[in-house]
Amino acid sequence: MAEPALTLEKLLDALADRVAAKVRAELGAGGLSATVGPRLLTVEQAASYLGRSKEAVEHMVASAKIPTVRIDRRVFIDVRDLERLIDDSKVTGIR
């Protein structure tokens, strides 16, 4: 007698495999971070993140292109604001 083609266990295994594959694809595509980093960056860290100089980021802060978070006397930049800046600055085609 033939075994049933699809058992509940096989269905759950197949579903788990598909979920795992999607998570791996997102991690590989940069959609999710494999490691958790700080949400708030110093100006120096933000400059490194953007591939710009510290002075360039300070200028962007002074001209209100990048919002800041001020805690006590320290200035931080939210990594989500940097992501938004990057997304908003994307263009298609050659200018």
Exposure on the CB side of residue 86, measured as CA atoms within 13 A: 12
**Is residue 38 helix, strand or coil?**
coil
State the pLDDT at residue 37: 85
N-term to C-term CA, the chain: 68
pLDDT in tens, 32-90: 555 678 999 999 999 999 999 999 999 999 999 999 999 999 999 999 999 999 999 99
Residue that the structure tokens 């802060």 belong to: 61
Written as six digits, the tokens of 88 are 């908003």
pLDDT value, residue 69 = 97
pTM tops 0.95, yes or no: no
In this prediction, residue 33 carries a pLDDT of: 53
Phi/psi zone of residue 94: left (φ > 0), alpha (ψ -120 to 50 degrees), beta?
beta
User: Which of 11-20, 24-33, 50-59 is least confident?
Assistant: 24-33
Looking at residue 24, its pLDDT comes to 81
- Tell which residue, 78, 83, 43, has the closest CA to residue 60: 43
* Token pair of 26 as six digits: 């997102």
